[in-house]
């Protein structure tokens, strides 16, 4: 992240605004020390997000030392332009974890594997045109999942920034001229074609290259599920708890590869697109 910030500064962009800090109160459900990540079920964060269960990165591994699932904590959430981290964690007590299996369950049989055809659902684009995945036959496709109201800079907004960079590369690289980008909303009830169109314009998405798609919520949910992606609001109107997947799809509509999470780079995705079989002419 530091590297990205420095690069942006070096390009003469205005310095990023100072990070914002929020106090969070909740319970640790699980810990992944190797990823410096902790899953916290927390109460409302006034002015930022409603009560939800979310994985958070910690600023340093030492913040997780001695912490255990069940710990009740208060913590400081630092939200910068590009990422969000917990910068302090104080244990205030501990309690049994109510429902450790809470959260959307995805069974392995719902997943598509590399080589499998991507299911053809009735999706529509930001111009209300039908945009099922079959409409992109003959193109290599990079596809990701986002929603426009996502409050966490290193989730959906980061996917949008990465896709902007991939779009730039596609437009500059003759070898990638057939490539199409697709961002599928996880919030189809709110992200109507009109909302997605505004969002696309704010990102300077070129409609000839980059499609933003939505559709009937059940269709979108079943499409997302085939990639292992689920999104759920714990309470009506709350921010969505969701995961991330970014996929490369070949010109025959088959899955080539899928990334989990937000740790992939635009350069890696561009290399995967180059390596995917180009369409036959
Ligand atoms: Cu998000």
Residue 4 has pLDDT above 80, yes or no: no
- The pTM assigned to this predicted structure is 0.68
Instruction: Supply the mean pLDDT for the chain.
Output: 86
| Distance, first Cα to last Cα, the chain | 40
The answer to whether 240 touches 231, Cβ cutoff 8 Å, is: yes
CA 147 to each of CA 6, 36, 106, 177, 214: distance values in angstroms, whole numbers, following the listed order: 27, 25, 20, 27, 10
Least-confidence region, from 172-176, 208-212, 219-223, 225-229? 225-229
Q: Are residues 114 and 86 in the same domain?
A: no
Domain match, 116 and 83 both: no
The top-scoring range by mean pLDDT among 79-93, 185-199, 228-242, 258-272 is: 185-199
Question: Is residue 147 located within the same domain as residue 31?
Answer: no
How many other CB atoms are found less than 10 A from the CB of residue 4?
15
Which 3-state string (H, E, C) describes 58-90?
Answer: ECCHHHHCCCCCCEEEEEEEEECCCCEEEEEEE
Contact 176, 170 (CB under 8 A): yes
What pLDDT was estimated at residue 246? Answer: 95
Q: State which of 94, 117, 139 marks the end of a domain.
A: 94
Domain range for 78 is 20-94
Token representation of residue 8: 């942006």
Decide if 268 is inside a domain: yes
Ligand 1: distance of its center to the CA of 186 in Å? 8
**Quick one: 114 and 81 in the same domain?**
no
Measure 156 CA to ligand 1 centroid, in angstroms.
4
User: Residue 83's closest CA among 197, 148, 185, 161?
Assistant: 161
In a domain, 48, yes or no: yes
The enclosing domain of 179 has a CATH number of: 3.40.30.10
Cα(82) to ligand 1 centroid in Å equals 13
Mean pLDDT of all residues in 84-95: 92
Q: Are residues 68 and 154 in the same domain?
A: no
What value does the mean pLDDT take over residues 229-241? 80
Question: Ligand 1 centroid to 278 CA: how many Å?
Answer: 31
Q: How far is the CA of 281 from the centre of ligand 1 (A)?
A: 37
* Cα of 145 from ligand 1 centre, angstroms: 8
Residue with token string 């996917």: 159
- Ligand 1 centroid, distance to 263 Cα (angstroms): 14
Whether residue 164 is found in the same domain as residue 249: yes
Q: Using one digit for the tens of pLDDT, what is the confidence trace for 176-221?
A: 999 999 999 999 999 999 999 999 999 999 999 999 999 999 999 9
Task: Find the CATH number of the domain harbouring 67.
Answer: 2.40.50.320
CA of 280 to the centre of ligand 1 (A): 36
225 burial type by CB count under 10 A (0-12 exposed, 13-18 middle, 19+ buried): middle
Residue 149 C-alpha to ligand 1 middle, in angstroms? 8
Going by pLDDT thresholds of 50, 70 and 90, the confidence category of residue 110 is: low
Please indicate, yes or no, whether residues 263 and 229 belong to a single structural domain of this protein.
yes
Same structural domain, 181 and 145: yes
Question: To which residue do tokens 């169109």 refer?
Answer: 197
Structural domain count, the chain: 2
- Among 45-59, 206-220, 227-241, 258-272, which range has the highest average pLDDT? 206-220
- Is 200 exposed, middle or buried (CB count within 10 Å of its CB: 0-12, 13-18, 19+)? buried
**Pair (217, 250) in one structural domain:** yes
131 C-alpha to center of ligand 1: Å? Answer: 22
Task: pLDDT band for 118, please (50, 70, 90 cuts).
Answer: very high
Task: Please report whether residue 238 resides in a domain.
Answer: yes
With cut-offs at 50, 70 and 90, classify the pLDDT of residue 39. confident
Q: Determine the distance separating the centroid of ligand 1 and the alpha carbon of 155, expressed in angstroms.
A: 5
pLDDT digits 0-9 by tens, 62-81:
999 999 999 999 999 988 77
Q: Are the C-beta atoms of 201 and 94 separated by less than 8 Å?
A: no
Residue 39 included in any domain: yes
If asked whether residues 126 and 43 sit together in one domain, one would say: no
- Are 157 and 123 found together in one domain? yes
The residue among 60, 94, 128 that closes a domain is 94
Ligand 1 centroid distance, CA of 226 (Å): 18
- How many angstroms separate the alpha carbon of residue 125 from the centre of ligand 1? 19
Beta carbons within 8 Å of 151's beta carbon, 6+ residues apart: 48, 49, 239
> How does pLDDT run across 122-170, given as a tens digit for each residue?
999 999 999 999 999 999 999 999 999 998 888 899 999 999 999 999 9
150, 191 contact by CB (below 8 A):
no
**Of the ranges 8-22, 27-41, 215-229, which is most confident?**
215-229
Residue 104 CA to ligand 1 center (angstroms) comes to: 15
| Ligand 1 centroid from CA 238, angstroms | 12
Tokens 């309470």, residue located:
235
Residue 281: which pLDDT band, with cuts at 50, 70 and 90? low
Q: What percent of the chain has pLDDT over 90?
A: 59
């Amino acid at each position: 992240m530091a590297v990205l910030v420095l690069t942006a500064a070096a390009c003469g962009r205005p310095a990023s605004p100072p990070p914002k800090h929020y106090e969070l109160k909740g319970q640790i459900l699980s810990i992944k020390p190797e990823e410096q990540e902790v899953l916290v079920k927390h109460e409302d964060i006034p002015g930022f997000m409603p009560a939800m269960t979310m994985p958070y990165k910690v600023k340093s591994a030492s913040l997780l030392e001695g912490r255990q699932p069940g710990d009740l904590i208060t913590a400081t959430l630092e939200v910068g332009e590009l990422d969000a981290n917990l910068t302090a964690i104080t244990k205030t007590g501990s309690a049994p974890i109510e429902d450790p299996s809470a959260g959307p369950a995805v069974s392995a049989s719902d997943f598509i594997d590399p080589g499998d055809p991507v299911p053809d659902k009735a999706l529509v684009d930001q111009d209300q045109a039908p945009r099922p995945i079959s409409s992109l036959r003959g193109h290599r496709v990079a596809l990701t999942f986002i929603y426009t109201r996502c409050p966490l800079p290193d989730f959906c907004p980061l996917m949008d920034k990465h896709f902007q960079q991939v779009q730039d590369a596609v437009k500059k690289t003759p070898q990638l001229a057939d490539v199409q980008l697709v961002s599928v909303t996880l919030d189809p009830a709110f992200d109507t074609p009109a909302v997605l169109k505004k969002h696309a314009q704010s990102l300077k998405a070129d409609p000839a290259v980059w499609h933003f798609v939505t559709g009937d919520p059940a269709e979108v949910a079943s499409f997302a599920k085939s990639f292992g992606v689920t999104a759920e609001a714990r309470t009506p109107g709350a921010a969505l708890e969701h995961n991330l997947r970014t996929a490369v799809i070949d010109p025959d509509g088959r899955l080539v590869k899928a990334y989990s999470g937000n740790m992939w780079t635009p350069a890696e995705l561009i290399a995967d697109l180059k390596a995917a079989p180009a369409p036959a002419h």
